[in-house]
Amino acid sequence: MSTTIIEVGEAPVELTLRQKWSHYFVIIYAILAIIIGVNLRDSAVFATVPYSNPQVGITAFYPHRWMIDSSGDYVFRVRDMAQTGFKTAMQVNIIPVNSDMTTRNILETLILNRSQTDSTFRVLSQEPIQLADNTEATRMTSTFVASNEDPFLESIPTVVERMDVIAVQGGQAIIISFLSDALTFEQNYPKFEQFLNDVDF
Amino acid sequence: MMLTSKARLFATSWLMLVVLLITSGVPAAAQTSLDVERIQRATVLVMQTRIIGSSPIITCVGSGTIVSRDGLILTNAHHSLSGANCSGDTLIISLNIRPGEPPVARYQAEVVQANPGLDLALLRITRQVDGRLIDRASLALPFVEIGDSAGVGLDDTITVVGYPGIGNDPIVFERGTISGFAAEPSGGDRSWIKTSASITGTMSGGGAYNQNGLLIGIPTTAPLTPNPATGNCISVQDSNADGLINTNDVCIPTGGFINLLRPSAFVRPLLQAAQLDISISFPLERVISTTATIPTARPRFRYLGFSPSVNPAGMPTTIIRSLPTGSNSLYLFFDYENMTPETVYELRVNTNGIPNPNFSVSPVRWSGGSRGLWYVGSSGQPFPNGNYEFTLFIDGIAGDSARLVIGGGPDEGAAFSDIVFGLLDSAGNVTGTGFVLPTGNTASARFLYRNMTPGGSWAAIWYYEGQEVQRTDDGTVWAESDGASGTKTISIQSVNGLLPGSYRLELYIEGRLAAVSDFTLAGGQDGSFARIFNNTHFTTASTVQEALSAAPISSFSAGTSPIFAMFNWQLIGPGTLWRIEWSVDNQLFFSQTQPWSGAPTGSNFLMQIASPAGLPDGTYRLDLFVGQIQFDTAQFRVGIGQLPIDRFASAEGIALRGQVLNSVSRDGIQGVSVMLISEDYSVADFTRDWNQAQLIATATTDRNGRFEVNVPLQRGALYSIVLLAEGFLPITADGVEITDENHPDNSPIDITLELTPE
């Protein structure tokens, strides 16, 4: 014996104009919400804090909620303390130069110093660049291996990628550095790009 | 990462938890003030190495103790400085990473301060073990504090910590008591602390702690020349690359058992100089007229004698033949020649034929000059009756010995004692400083005598630089007019003037040495006092030549370096021992005694005091001594004239460590930032400014989620904590306090915290 199922449904009802507009508004609101959300996220992620040091003539904007430190042998350094593992950092150093020094001399000094302090230090590239304000500069990319300074902890070393932008101006060399876990370097780089665009010396 | 309202709410809920966890921390060493873990971590193995072929070869091994958070290590000089028995040039520092395990090589260090005679050295960690430079400011190592060694007494319980082997053994804690004190001219009655603790040779350089966990002594012994045949060294590497490890390879000296601790009082000047990063160099100008000679003849001891006491100049008050029952002080005196700072000497004492470790001195470096009168003894320690034999060893070889009977009543025989020197005034009294006299035609000595017999023979013999120069003419027979007891004055004279230098007077009764004392003639006459040094002043200049002509300055601006010190001198004989002392804010940081090797008279003896970062603010004083007498002093100020306060100088407090777990997976979270905010700021302050200056310490969790805050926490202080990790809700807490109620002892606090994924 065979069974036949007959489905009985309501006849399709055409949406009213009001209903149609309601749907359209929902979609528009959703799109607007997404756009606002993205903007809010961007403004949160790329929010900055002003930094000014009249003594050395530097102004900059660094990422909001990064920890600032000016007690080291740099003008200042900011670090993303929320980053797990190696703390992404940006720092500004100033070293005196004389008229006989070239950018090449400064690079050599940096390389020599870092080879003394950074484990497995290696230079990846050096190239001339132009900053946003048309200042001529040199960019050096290098890597080294960083590990927790506490000898009593079991910390696995991290490969760190470092980018230095060196510009010579007014008898001094400004070295703006960006350090990040090599695995997240590209992801973090836009913040440094923004920092670099905003810095004024 | 933003602290949202949700996060704040969450954080608030964690506040009580954090406090609760702190209060429930498990003490690692309950109810003891000896912080075992901190001492373990601060105790290091020091390996001296050198490259042979292409391999690092260990040449010497000892223990050491970290005494500052930026990596100063206190240890012995003999295994740190390169020398005949330890010929390496690189110091490798191994840390005790985990309790019960052998140490692990982590750093390289350099000697920054050393005193070979005291056998003390301070090393500074300068490199990673692979040779990379270390910024000392980045170091935050566990360290111990130096205690007051003058405060310890007989039978006090101490704990000696060090490595008992040459690298394969974990740290040992040996408990013992203080069994006595050994006296030497280098440090007075407490030149050494003797202990009953069982200490092996490689623990030399480690630490001895009182019951409050403060370092009060450094176990010290000097290894003899390595000789595989005697078993005093071990070969562990194929240094000659012949495929075998045998007696032809470098043999690491291991030393014997130790019963001596160098008191921590001797460490303070070295530590002060190292912490201030001050170096002193002298002489900078050509004041040298005679080259200091390094003895090449074999070192030797002779003329051993005993005295029950020592005068302030380090001379025996009298020479005795026996000691009465109940005596608690005895000094063995002897002449020494051709000694060097690397000479190892030892005293073995037998009582009734049985070795007596209580009064023996284990092998130690020589801390005197090359020639003179020395003593070793002890006071405040009862000597049981018996027949004592004292034998001196030089570099492991037995030398002269002397016997003394202790027991019975006091010696009622004739005796001389208490010699003092000076110039005779018009009334016939001996005046002056006692043992340093101005040069002239006459020097006089006054001494006590008792139980003398008229007609008995006696003699007074004067020596200059070891050569007899005069015998007392009427000294062959004791005059009846002098009586049995009293005071007698004798003199040495020369019509051409007595030469400046070192003199000795020996007094004999019936051919037996009854009293002996050295004195020094130096300087011009200023009444009955000597005027040896004068016009001490300071200046600053960029070169030595400029310094010589620069105007004197007594107040320098902050950060000045170098500063030059100059003084004039007159009539100092070659070989005369003189001492330079530098102190800052009345804290001694440099003391050096050396034989005079310059012209007898001159001007502008030039010294330099310098620091790479500029001399710290403070009031600096230079004192110049001959013997125990200060002959000139001058001081200058730098900056505000007061040393800056080092907020990290104290190791006291409670260590905070713990583990951060993922609340869902229960796994440790790697890379979490743990930030401890100072008392002056709250979490709200910090999360507004995000300024590192508001933090006391930061820590990052390791692969197991473990962290350690490297600044000790103080009781009663209110701390704030922030924990941050991307992908997790943060934890913050204000008002975290350690009280006697929630943590009664000083053991580390170990907390577990959980982070919730966002």
- Determine which of B724, B728, B731, B755 to mutate to test the interface with A (most A C-beta atoms within 10 Å): B724
Count of CB pairs separated by less than 8 Å, A with B: 88
User: Alpha carbon of B591 to those of B104, B114, B625, B627: distances in Å?
Assistant: 35, 11, 10, 13
Closest CA to B492 of B522, B519, B471, B516: B471
What pLDDT was estimated at residue B746?
73
Q: ipTM of this predicted complex?
A: 0.81
| Rounded CA separation B398/B345 (Å) | 10
Which residues in chain B have Cβ-Cβ distances shorter than 8 Å to A148? 700, 702
What pLDDT was estimated at residue B575?
85
| Rounded CA separation B288/B599 (Å) | 6
- Using pLDDT thresholds of 50, 70 and 90, give the confidence band for residue A172: confident
Q: Which of the residue ranges A103-117, B227-241, B244-258 has the most confident prediction, judged by mean pLDDT? A: A103-117
Give A192's contacts (C-beta < 8 A, 6+ positions apart). A90, A163, A178
Which residues in chain A have Cβ-Cβ distances shorter than 8 Å to B130? 119
Closest CA to B615 of B562, B666, B574: B562
- The minimal CB distance from B671 to the residues A85, A118, A154 is found for A85
- Using pLDDT thresholds of 50, 70 and 90, give the confidence band for residue B742: confident
Compute the mean pLDDT over every residue in chain A, rounded to the nearest whole number: 88
- The minimal CB distance from A83 to the residues B106, B726, B730 is found for B726
| Rounded CA separation B745/B12 (Å) | 28
C-beta atoms of B702 and A154 within 8 A: yes
| Rounded CA separation B67/B73 (Å) | 6
Nearest C-alpha in B relative to A69 = B692
Q: Measured between CB atoms, does A76 come within 8 Å of chain B?
A: no
Residue B632 has pLDDT above 90, yes or no: yes
Higher pLDDT, B1 or B290: B290
Q: For residue B661, give the H/E element and its range.
A: strand B654-662
Q: Measured between CB atoms, does A48 come within 8 Å of chain B?
A: no
Percentage of the residues of chain A whose pLDDT score is greater than 90: 51
- The minimal CB distance from A84 to the residues B106, B670, B692 is found for B670
Lowest mean pLDDT among B133-142, B167-176, B303-312, B737-746: B737-746
C-beta atoms of B95 and A152 within 8 A: yes
CB B523 within 8 A of CB B530: yes
Long-range contacts of A54-59 (CB under 8 A, 24+ apart): A56/A94, A56/A201, A57/A170, A57/A201, A58/A92, A58/A94, A58/A174, A58/A199, A58/A200, A58/A201, A59/A199, A59/A200, A59/A201
- The minimal CB distance from A153 to the residues B138, B708, B724 is found for B708
User: Alpha carbon of B748 to those of B38, B650, B716: distances in Å?
Assistant: 9, 16, 16
What average pLDDT score do residues B2-19 get?
Answer: 43
Which residues in chain A have Cβ-Cβ distances shorter than 8 Å to B704? 154
Residue B19 has pLDDT above 50, yes or no: no
What are the two backbone dihedrals, phi and then psi, of residue B427, each rounded to the nearest 5 degrees? Answer: -90, 0
What average pLDDT score do residues B232-251 get?
Answer: 81
Residue B31 has pLDDT above 60, yes or no: no
Residue B26 has pLDDT above 80, yes or no: no
- Determine which of A80, A114, A148, A184 to mutate to test the interface with B (most B C-beta atoms within 10 Å): A148
Lowest mean pLDDT among B298-312, B658-672, B734-748: B734-748
Burial class (CB in 10 A: 0-12, 13-18, 19+), B455: exposed
Q: Measured between CB atoms, does A85 come within 8 Å of chain B?
A: yes
C-beta atoms of B708 and A152 within 8 A: yes
- The minimal CB distance from A67 to the residues B138, B142, B690 is found for B690
Q: Measured between CB atoms, does A6 come within 8 Å of chain B?
A: no
C-beta atoms of A82 and B699 within 8 A: no
Closest Cα in chain A, distance from residue B175 (Å):
26
What are the two backbone dihedrals, phi and then psi, of residue B46, each rounded to the nearest 5 degrees? Answer: -105, 120
CA atoms B688, B691, B696, B698: torsion sign: positive
Residue B379 has pLDDT above 80, yes or no: yes
What pLDDT was estimated at residue B24?
41
Three-state secondary structure call for residue B599? coil
- The minimal CB distance from A150 to the residues B128, B690, B708 is found for B708
- Using pLDDT thresholds of 50, 70 and 90, give the confidence band for residue B52: confident
- The minimal CB distance from B700 to the residues A117, A118, A148 is found for A148
Which residues in chain B have Cβ-Cβ distances shorter than 8 Å to A66? 690
pLDDT tens-digit readout, B573-611: 988 889 999 999 999 999 888 888 889 999 999 999 999
Q: Measured between CB atoms, does A69 come within 8 Å of chain B?
A: yes
Higher pLDDT, B235 or B273: B273
- In the stretch 154-183 of chain A, residues with CB closer than 8 A to chain B read 154-156
CB B736 within 8 A of CB B720: yes
Which residues in chain A have Cβ-Cβ distances shorter than 8 Å to B141? 151
| Rounded CA separation B647/B191 (Å) | 32
Let me know how many helices (H) and strands (E) chain B has, helices first.
Answer: 5, 50
How many CA atoms lie less than 13 Å away from B410 in the CB half-sphere? 6
Q: Measured between CB atoms, does A66 come within 8 Å of chain B?
A: yes
- Using pLDDT thresholds of 50, 70 and 90, give the confidence band for residue B540: very high
Percentage of the residues of chain B whose pLDDT score is greater than 70: 93
CA atoms A145, A148, A154, A158: torsion sign: negative
- The minimal CB distance from A151 to the residues B106, B671, B672 is found for B106
pLDDT tens-digit readout, B75-132: 999 999 988 888 899 999 999 988 888 899 999 999 999 988 889 999 999 999 988 8
Closest Cα in chain B, distance from residue A119 (Å):
7
What is the token pair recorded at A9? 């449904």
Which residues in chain B have Cβ-Cβ distances shorter than 8 Å to A40? none
Q: Measured between CB atoms, does A40 come within 8 Å of chain B?
A: no
Q: List domains and CATH numbers for chain B.
A: 5-31+653-755 (2.60.40.1120), 36-276 (2.40.10.120), 415-526 (2.60.40.1930), 532-638 (2.60.40.10)
Residue B471 has pLDDT above 90, yes or no: no
Q: Measured between CB atoms, does A112 come within 8 Å of chain B?
A: no
| Rounded CA separation B84/B294 (Å) | 14
Nearest C-alpha in A relative to B674 = A81
Q: For residue B506, give the H/E element and its range.
A: strand B501-509
The number of residues in chain A equals 201
- Determine which of A43, A46, A61, A84 to mutate to test the interface with B (most B C-beta atoms within 10 Å): A84
The 3-class secondary structure across B152-181, one letter per residue, is: CCCCCEEEEEECCCCCCCCCEEEEEEEEEE
10 Å Cβ neighbour count for B724? 26
pLDDT tens-digit readout, B551-574: 999 999 999 999 999 999 999 998
C-beta atoms of B703 and A154 within 8 A: yes
Q: Measured between CB atoms, does A71 come within 8 Å of chain B?
A: yes
CB B119 within 8 A of CB B76: yes
Residue B257 has pLDDT above 80, yes or no: no
